[in-house]
Structure 1
Amino acid sequence: MTLNDDSFTNWKNREEIAESMIPMIGKLHRERDVTVLLHSRSLVNRSVVSILKTHRFARQIAGEELSVTETLPFLEALTALDLGPSQIDLGMLAATYRADDRGLSVAEFTAEAVAGATGANKIDRREPRDVVLYGFGRIGRLVARLLIEKSGSGNGLRLRAIVVRGGGEQDLVKRASLLRRDSVHGQFQGTITVDEANNKIIANGNEITVIYADDPSQVDYTQYGVRNAILIDNTGKWRDREGLSKHLRPGIDKVVLTAPGKGDVPNIVHGVNHDTIKPDEQILSCASCTTNAIVPPLKAMADEYGVLRGHVETVHSFTNDQNLLDNYHKADRRGRSAPLNMVITETGAASAVAKALPDLKAPITGSSIRVPVPDVSIAILSLRLGRETTREEVLEHLREVSLTSPLKRQIDFTTAPDAVSMDFIGSRHSSIIDAGATKVDGDNAILYLWYDNEFGYSCQVVRVVQHVSGVEYPTYPATGV
Structure 2
Amino acid sequence: MTQKPAASNSDAVLESWIERETLAEAMIPLIGRLYRENNVILSVHGRSLINQSAVTLLKAHRFARHVDGVLLRPEETLPLLQAMTTLRLGPASINLATLNLKYAQEGAGRTREEFLRTELADVVDRQGMDQRAGTDVVLYGFGRIGRLLARILIEHSGGGQGLRLRAIVVRNGGADDLTKRASLLRRDSVHGPFNGTITVDHENNIIQANGTAIQVIYSDSPATIDYTAYGIHDALVVDNTGRWRDEEGLSQHLQSTGVARVLLTAPGKGALKNVVHGINHGTILPEDKIITAASCTTNAITPVLKVLNDKYGIVHGHVETVHSFTNDQNLTDNFHKGDRRGRSAALNMVLTETGAAKAVAKALPELEGKLSGNSIRVPTPNVSMAILNLTLENGTTKEEVNTFLRETSLGSALRKQIDFIDSPEVVSSDFVGSRRAGIVDGLATISTDKHLVLYVWYDNEFGYSCQVVRVMEEMAGVHPRQFPPLETTAEAAAALV
TM-score category of the 2 structures, normalised to the smaller one: over 0.9
How far apart are 1:64 and its partner, in Å? Answer: 6.0
How far apart are 1:102 and its partner, in Å? Answer: 7.4
How far apart are 1:63 and its partner, in Å? Answer: 5.6
Task: Give the equivalent residue in structure 1 for 2:494.
Answer: none
Contact kept in structure 2, 1:307 and 1:362, CA below 8 Å = no
Take 2:339 and 2:87, find their aligned partners in 1: how far apart are those partners? 60
Matches for 1:357-436 after TM superposition, within 5 Å: 357-361=364-368, 363-436=370-443
Which 10-residue stretch deviates more, 109-118 or 377-386?
109-118
Take 2:217 and 2:490, find their aligned partners in 1: how far apart are those partners? 45
Take 2:125 and 2:490, find their aligned partners in 1: how far apart are those partners? 24
Which residue, 462, 474, 496 being the options, matches 1:455? 462
Given the alignment of the two structures, is residue 157 of structure 1 paired with residue 163 of structure 2, yes or no?
yes
Task: Give the equivalent residue in structure 1 for 2:234.
Answer: 228
How far apart are 1:137 and its partner, in Å? Answer: 0.2
Which residue, 24, 34, 38 being the options, matches 2:30? 24
How far apart are 1:83 and its partner, in Å? Answer: 2.2
How far apart are 1:458 and its partner, in Å? Answer: 0.6
How far apart are 1:112 and its partner, in Å? Answer: 3.8
Seen in structure 2, the aligned counterparts of structure 1 residues 362 and 156 have a Cα distance that, compared at 3 Å, is: same
Given the alignment of the two structures, is residue 271 of structure 1 paired with residue 281 of structure 2, yes or no?
no
Given the alignment of the two structures, is residue 170 of structure 1 paired with residue 180 of structure 2, yes or no?
no
Task: Give the equivalent residue in structure 2 for 1:126.
Answer: 132
Q: Which amino acid aligns with 2:28?
A: I
Q: Which amino acid aligns with 2:339?
A: D
Take 2:445 and 2:117, find their aligned partners in 1: how far apart are those partners? 40
Task: Give the equivalent residue in structure 1 for 2:348.
Answer: 341
Contact kept in structure 2, 1:260 and 1:286, CA below 8 Å = yes
* SS, match of residue 269 in structure 2: coil
Seen in structure 2, the aligned counterparts of structure 1 residues 75 and 384 have a Cα distance that, compared at 3 Å, is: farther
Structure 1 segments unaligned to the other structure (5+ residues): none
How far apart are 1:418 and its partner, in Å? Answer: 0.7
Take 1:443 and 1:46, find their aligned partners in 2: how far apart are those partners? 44
Contact kept in structure 2, 1:432 and 1:451, CA below 8 Å = yes
Contact kept in structure 1, 2:91 and 2:127, CA below 8 Å = no
Given the alignment of the two structures, is residue 38 of structure 1 paired with residue 44 of structure 2, yes or no?
yes
* SS, match of residue 115 in structure 1: coil
Task: Give the equivalent residue in structure 2 for 1:286.
Answer: 293
Take 1:369 and 1:175, find their aligned partners in 2: how far apart are those partners? 31
Take 1:243 and 1:51, find their aligned partners in 2: how far apart are those partners? 45
Take 2:333 and 2:139, find their aligned partners in 1: how far apart are those partners? 31
Contact kept in structure 2, 1:192 and 1:201, CA below 8 Å = yes
Seen in structure 2, the aligned counterparts of structure 1 residues 121 and 363 have a Cα distance that, compared at 3 Å, is: farther
Which 10-residue stretch deviates more, 418-427 or 440-449?
440-449
Task: Give the equivalent residue in structure 2 for 1:213.
Answer: 219
Q: Tell me the matched-pair count.
A: 480
Task: Give the equivalent residue in structure 1 for 2:450.
Answer: 443
Take 2:423 and 2:80, find their aligned partners in 1: how far apart are those partners? 29
Task: Give the equivalent residue in structure 2 for 1:480.
Answer: 490
Q: Deviations over 1:12-59 (max 9, x none)?
A: 111011111111111111111110011101110111111112223345
Seen in structure 2, the aligned counterparts of structure 1 residues 274 and 9 have a Cα distance that, compared at 3 Å, is: same
How far apart are 1:61 and its partner, in Å? Answer: 5.4
Could you say which structure has the larger radius of gyration?
2
Q: Which amino acid aligns with 2:95?
A: D
Matches for 1:227-246 after TM superposition, within 5 Å: 227-246=233-252
* SS, match of residue 172 in structure 2: coil
Task: Give the equivalent residue in structure 1 for 2:495.
Answer: none
Q: Deviations over 1:295-338 (max 9, x none)?
A: 11111111222222122111111111111111111111111111
Take 1:110 and 1:402, find their aligned partners in 2: how far apart are those partners? 27
Q: Deviations over 1:119-147 (max 9, x none)?
A: 57997342211000100000000001111
How far apart are 1:473 and its partner, in Å? Answer: 1.6
Given the alignment of the two structures, is residue 196 of structure 1 paired with residue 202 of structure 2, yes or no?
yes
Task: Give the equivalent residue in structure 1 for 2:121.
Answer: 115
How far apart are 1:454 and its partner, in Å? Answer: 0.4
Take 1:400 and 1:126, find their aligned partners in 2: how far apart are those partners? 33
* SS, match of residue 490 in structure 2: coil
Q: Which amino acid aligns with 1:27?
A: R
Task: Give the equivalent residue in structure 1 for 2:75.
Answer: 69
Which 10-residue stretch deviates more, 47-56 or 457-466?
47-56
Take 1:440 and 1:80, find their aligned partners in 2: how far apart are those partners? 52
RMSD over equivalenced CA pairs, Å: 2.0
Task: Give the equivalent residue in structure 1 for 2:324.
Answer: 317
How far apart are 1:467 and its partner, in Å? Answer: 1.1
How far apart are 1:380 and its partner, in Å? Answer: 1.1
Contact kept in structure 2, 1:30 and 1:154, CA below 8 Å = no
How far apart are 1:66 and its partner, in Å? Answer: 3.5
TM-score (norm 2): 0.92
* SS, match of residue 400 in structure 1: helix
Take 1:65 and 1:341, find their aligned partners in 2: how far apart are those partners? 46
How far apart are 1:277 and its partner, in Å? Answer: 0.4
How far apart are 1:70 and its partner, in Å? Answer: 4.0
Take 2:389 and 2:75, find their aligned partners in 1: how far apart are those partners? 42
How far apart are 1:369 and its partner, in Å? Answer: 0.8
Take 2:357 and 2:80, find their aligned partners in 1: how far apart are those partners? 43
Take 2:18 and 2:294, find their aligned partners in 1: how far apart are those partners? 45
Contact kept in structure 1, 2:89 and 2:126, CA below 8 Å = no
Which 10-residue stretch deviates more, 282-291 or 69-78?
69-78
Contact kept in structure 2, 1:308 and 1:362, CA below 8 Å = no
TM-score (norm 1): 0.95
Matched-pair identity in %: 58
Which 10-residue stretch deviates more, 201-210 or 249-258?
201-210
Take 1:476 and 1:97, find their aligned partners in 2: how far apart are those partners? 13
